[in-house]
Amino acid sequence: MLSGKSVLVTGGTGSFGRRFVETVLDRYRPRRLIVFSRDELKQQQMCDRISPQVYPAIRYFLGDVRDRQRLYRALDGVDVVVHAAALKQVPRCEYNPLEAIKTNILGAANVIDAAIDRDVDRVIALSTDKAANPINLYGATKLCADKLFVSANNYTGSHPTRFSVVRYGNVVGSRGSVVPVFLKLRGQGPLPITDPRMTRFWITLEQGADFVLASLQRMRGGEIFVPKIPSMNILDLTRAVAPDSPTETVGIRPGEKLHETMVSEDDARHTLEYDDYFAVLPNPAALQFHREADPQGGKPCDDGFCYTSDTNDRWLTVEQLREMVEEEGGIAN
């Protein structure tokens, strides 16, 4: 799918970006694979591991999604864009709301305009479960970005560009995960947990990269793709990472939910369910169009359906959680 193509990844030095780049280089032979990010140190560190001398297709392009002109230059001749750049630390976004808006919303608008004007073929943007029924600023900015990417399909005109979104839950090996915090405090005292009832959707970086690649192949434009992934309970995670450490309940932080949602009841009215994912469509008319184009495809969700981490029918055991964390290198032996 990506062999012979020029691919650009915004936020390419982040946790997902690095794994996605590694996966593409392992499976495909892209003509160019451009890492677009603003941190020169992270680019140098990534270049030391994935060098252009070993991988001639790789390019490292300094830039910020806030800078429209830089994006226009970076997207020259690009076929596929994976938009992973974002400010995503909930407390930092709450304290610096305008900075989150500039990157997550205005930066998304810049990516859209540059992609259309440069005749990019496909753009897929990474979202988050926090964008469904958001209660914090980060979730609100990502919901707005999702709307921008979905609506962008309405004004591409004669350009070939199509836009879709991928939405999934907490990533095991990403920066900001609670796992490194628990590992650091293991054996030093009680582990702080917000609420023993708290649940989250759980996915690995590898699974996230695989789902983005699959969504790139199946996208028609306008979908929000949601993988069917398991949930976990926060107490089970502490037992997996630090089984001998006690826990201390510290209370839910501002902007934090007890449980997460990936398909809300309102969105479910125009959502198709497949064997291993959901496709949230822009409106009921789009759902009908997809059904007519592919009558053997997904089925509409039942009235009143919602996909939440506490009502999920798939749950990770303590042993499965430990295996997932170990696979991502999160538990040192």
Q: Which of 121, 142, 167 is the last residue of a domain?
A: 167
173/321 same-domain check: yes
pLDDT recorded at residue 330: 53
What number of residues does the chain have? 333
197/239 same-domain check: yes
pLDDT recorded at residue 285: 86
160/96 same-domain check: yes
Helical packing angle, 205-218 and 15-27, nearest 10°: 60
140/252 same-domain check: no
140/215 same-domain check: no
30/86 same-domain check: yes
Domain residues for the domain of 258 are 169-333
6/83 same-domain check: yes
Q: Does position 141 have pLDDT exceeding 90, yes or no?
A: yes
Q: What is the pLDDT of residues 276-289, one digit of tens each?
A: 999 999 988 888 88
- The active-site residue out of 5, 42, 102, 130 is 130
Does residue 184 have an active-site annotation?
no
274/187 same-domain check: yes
CATH number, position 233: 3.40.50.720
> Can you tell me the mean pLDDT for 170-184?
79
pLDDT recorded at residue 329: 61
Residue 130 per-residue DSSP state = G
11/76 same-domain check: yes
The angle subtended at Cα 283 by Cα 281 and Cα 289, nearest 5°, is 70
Q: Which of 137, 167, 197 is the last residue of a domain?
A: 167
Q: Which of 147, 167, 187 is the last residue of a domain?
A: 167
Q: What is the pLDDT of residues 26-55, one digit of tens each?
A: 999 999 999 999 999 999 999 999 999 999
